Amino acid sequence: MPLAATGSQQMTLRRAPNIWAFVVLGGVAGIVVGVLVGLAGGASAQFTQGAVVMFMVSVFAVVGLAAGAVVALVLDRLSVARARAVTTEVVGEDDPAAPQQAAPEAADPEAEDPRPTDPRA
């Protein structure tokens, strides 16, 4: 929906969660839980402690990623329910006839270089 040139306009305002932050946080939490569960389990004759830890880390990381995504989606749905309508004031662009501030000119970097030059160059 394009904005009107001037006047007021109705819009919906809501705070949406950053989904990727929740997914990454869930993955990191899953990795930590996987390390703790892998280290808490006893070693067996079939698998080394490192293999058990890596297996648990991979399983809990996937579970954590999924859990983070689900939490983010639930919070996103709640933010839609809490959205509110606001009225905004649409203002036209600045006057094009107004003078623009001139950018300072770039100085020549070689002219003001305080380092001595190498005569062999």
Q: Where are the beta strands (DSSP E) in the chain?
A: 7-13, 84-90
CB environment 82-102: b (16+ within 10 A), e (fewer):
eeeeeeeeeeeeeeeeeeeee
Within 10 angstroms of residue 65's Cβ, the number of other Cβ atoms is 20
Cross-strand pairs, 90: 7
pLDDT digits (tens, 9 = 90+) for 40-83: 987 778 988 899 999 999 999 999 999 999 999 999 999 888 88
The Cα–Cα gap between 71 and 33 comes to 18
Whether residue 35 has pLDDT greater than 80:
yes
